[in-house]
């Protein structure tokens, strides 16, 4: 029961958003991992396993989340500016 309490406390602290800093494809699994407090690898393994069982539904849900979720850094302009500055000068 304590793990459930830890996950629910983590979910209250973070909002559900994509995490582009740890993204493999779109950052959906990394965002879900950050939101739930579970390891990103665990979420990715569950996603791959669900692809084998529920191919169409998994693709639809992942696609909708990739389109609907905001990026984690969408509201933080300072990170966007520093990243664009870094890319422009290297």
Q: Is residue 6 part of a domain?
A: no
The span from the CA of 72 to the CA of 15, in Å, is 9
Q: Is residue 13 part of a domain?
A: no
Q: Is residue 66 part of a domain?
A: yes
Count of other CB atoms within 10 angstroms of residue 88: 7
Total structural domains in the chain? Answer: 1
Q: What are phi and psi of 71, to 5 degrees?
A: -70, 150
- The pLDDT score that the predictor gives to residue 20 is 80
Residue-range definition of the domain harbouring residue 72: 28-88
- The pLDDT score that the predictor gives to residue 61 is 93
pLDDT means per 10 residues, the chain with 90 residues, are: 63 73 87 89 94 92 90 55 48
- The pLDDT score that the predictor gives to residue 7 is 60
> In angstroms, how far is CA 7 from the centroid of its own chain?
15
- Picking from 37, 32, 34, the residue whose alpha carbon sits closest to that of residue 7 is 37
């Amino acid at each position: 029961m304590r793990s459930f309490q830890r996950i629910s406390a983590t979910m209250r602290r973070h909002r559900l958003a994509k995490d582009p800093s740890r993204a493999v494809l779109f950052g959906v699994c990394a965002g879900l991992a950050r939101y739930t407090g579970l390891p990103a690898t665990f979420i990715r393994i569950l996603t791959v396993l669900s692809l084998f069982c529920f191919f169409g539904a998994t693709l639809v849900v992942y696609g909708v989340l990739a389109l609907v979720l905001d990026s984690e850094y969408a509201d933080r302009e300072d990170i966007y500016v520093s990243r664009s500055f870094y890319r422009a000068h290297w």
